[in-house]
Amino acid sequence: VDSKVTLKVFDILGQEIASLINKDLTAGVHSFDFNAAGINSGVYFYRIEATGITGDKFVDIKKMILTK
């Protein structure tokens, strides 16, 4: 089943700092690289949203810590 998938990274203030993906993907396991050059060490959040062809939506937000 294909889904429209977006993956974005936000800083601690909620400002979007990166959009890693915004496209249709098939079901399964996927991985993406995140180039953090120019981004300071700290706490960030990433938000993944997938909307299926039937309109079903999955949204999840996770915390990550960037150390350089």
The predicted-structure confidence for 14-57, as pLDDT tens digits, reads as follows 999 999 999 999 989 999 888 999 999 999 999 999 999 888 99
Between CA 66 and CA 51 the distance in angstroms is 28
Amino acid present at 66 = L
Assess contact for 19 and 8: CB atoms under 8 A. yes
Please give the pLDDT value at position 52. Answer: 92
Checking if the pLDDT of 1 tops 80, the result is no
The per-residue pLDDT for 68 is 87
Residues β-bridged to residue 23: 5
pTM of the model: 0.86
